[in-house]
Structure 1
């Protein structure tokens, strides 16, 4: 309902505005990968699945080298936001795993910066040209859907279960990810978290409920300088319950500002991985984008 309301307000505003050529876009920001996606190519959906699958209006793949540090590759996310989310144009954002860190970093550190209005016509590097040479403050973003967000890091990085030669892994250490930027600063953009819990392989390392890669404390947008043990209701072996919506966890730990849990995987049906088929927890996010990003 919140999404429908905010979308209606913005649509009405666009109708009475002076600029009649407004276009909406859906930007998909992937997570950790082997660096195989084509940077600057907004049509390369190989990380996600078939490019013909419905995943929001005018969908664009925001590809970055998913082995490198967030600070090093964040310019690619900013390039995409400049391209499609300035001037008369508006964006819906979908992010997976470390893509949560990418959009959170961009909004927190650059969300109030002056951005040139762009023409949504990217060159081979993914950079668009200016329209009239004027700037605006930040980007036109309606909301952010987050599939298995790693904004709070993962204990798999803490324990060295991922390839430590990848610079990104050092960013995914829980204390590092949580201190990287102010997660409460989203320029009032809502983050809708989809938290999967079909995790078994690393149950001894990841606290509470997890999706085999990231635990609920991160995928649920739970605040704090370190992680915690959170589960579905009724689990007796957890430190607390991850509550849906904006409500604090059952132990009183709050979520970051403008972060809400849209889907908690009570049925333990979704793991972390899209597997190039829009699978896992990416599936419900894709469906949400297909329904509400228009």
Structure 2
């Protein structure tokens, strides 16, 4: 009985030390200082509520996913190992970053870290050993570029940016296995207040990303998907159901918000704006 009591006390101690974190992964152009998890320049005021113990997983938003993904893995190691768990929010190319990390490294052995990063955003080993992958509850994606953007295909973004090569639709879709999320759910938020590039982006879009990408639609290329009020193309369906016309979503991808009112575009405007506002509201309500 004494041994059982000691084990119970140890379990309670581990539970008391467990902490949940909300990780925010930026998209193209960056903005926050890489390695500084308190710098929310990309998103908006750092004082704005955005989920429990929020951390900015800053990367440069310029170089290719394969060469910058280490910044994301460092943060996941810091906050999502051992007794600690994470909620993840990603915007635009941040979708590629978390998808790439989970697909290629989500079943790898990770050293359990102490969640106190140095200036480079890296944490030291806690001495508690290793674990497989990361403790992630779910992933919210605003204007996700997991399926690429036709703006990269057409050269509307600076072709000198290495990241733009990854954002081409065929490249983004072949960059990793989008179905391999290690069982973590991706909840997609798709904006449709797009006007400036509507002639380039198929179907509804948020002025940077079309529904085929922000809705997590599967396949090796993009296609036109719209709101139910638009009769000119197939509907992007809510949830995990196949879209009108039969095209499926990637595994563990679910459309949580579709911008039927065409009110939300791609841009944060330094104030958690656009489609990001919907993800932030959900993180405040549910990332606890």
> Are 2:252 and 1:258 equivalent residues in the alignment?
yes
Deviates more, 1:181-190 or 1:126-135: 126-135
Aligned mates of 1:17, 1:209 — CA distance in 2: 50
> Are 2:24 and 1:28 equivalent residues in the alignment?
yes
Write the mapping of 1:140-159 to structure 2, written as runs, cut at 5 A.
140-159=135-154
| TM-score scaled by length of structure 1 | 0.93
Aligned mates of 1:17, 1:186 — CA distance in 2: 31
Aligned mates of 1:96, 1:134 — CA distance in 2: 32
| TM-score scaled by length of structure 2 | 0.95
1:275 corresponds to: 269
Does the CA-based 8 Å contact 2:237-2:255 persist in structure 1? yes
User: Pick from 80, 93, 96: which aligns with 1:98?
Assistant: 93
CA drift of 1:16 comes to 6.7
CA drift of 1:210 comes to 0.2
Write the mapping of 1:54-133 to structure 2, written as runs, cut at 5 A.
54-133=49-128
Describe the superposition over 1:222-269 as per-residue Cα deviations: whole angstroms up to 9, x where unpaired: 00000000000031222x100000011101000000000000000001
CA drift of 1:37 comes to 2.1
2:231 corresponds to: 236
Write the mapping of 1:174-193 to structure 2, written as runs, cut at 5 A.
174-193=169-188
Secondary structure of 2:124 counterpart: strand
Describe the superposition over 1:154-208 as per-residue Cα deviations: whole angstroms up to 9, x where unpaired: 0000000000000000000000000000000000000000000000000100000
Aligned mates of 2:229, 2:27 — CA distance in 1: 31
Alignment length (residue pairs)? 278
Q: Do the aligned partners of residues 268 and 17 (structure 1) sit closer, same or farther apart at CA in structure 2, a change above 3 Å counting?
A: farther
Secondary structure of 1:128 counterpart: coil
1:219 corresponds to: 214
User: Pick from 139, 151, 162: which aligns with 1:167?
Assistant: 162
In structure 2, list runs of 5 or more residues that go unmatched: 1-10
Describe the superposition over 1:83-105 as per-residue Cα deviations: whole angstroms up to 9, x where unpaired: 00000000000000000000000
Secondary structure of 1:189 counterpart: coil
Q: Do the aligned partners of residues 243 and 16 (structure 1) sit closer, same or farther apart at CA in structure 2, a change above 3 Å counting?
A: farther
CA drift of 1:287 comes to 0.4
Q: Do the aligned partners of residues 50 and 18 (structure 1) sit closer, same or farther apart at CA in structure 2, a change above 3 Å counting?
A: closer
Larger radius of gyration: 2
CA drift of 1:56 comes to 0.1
Describe the superposition over 1:90-141 as per-residue Cα deviations: whole angstroms up to 9, x where unpaired: 0000000000000000000000000000000000110001111510000000
Q: CA RMSD in A?
A: 1.1
List structure 1 runs of 4+ shifted beyond 3 angstroms: 15-19
Aligned mates of 1:275, 1:52 — CA distance in 2: 16
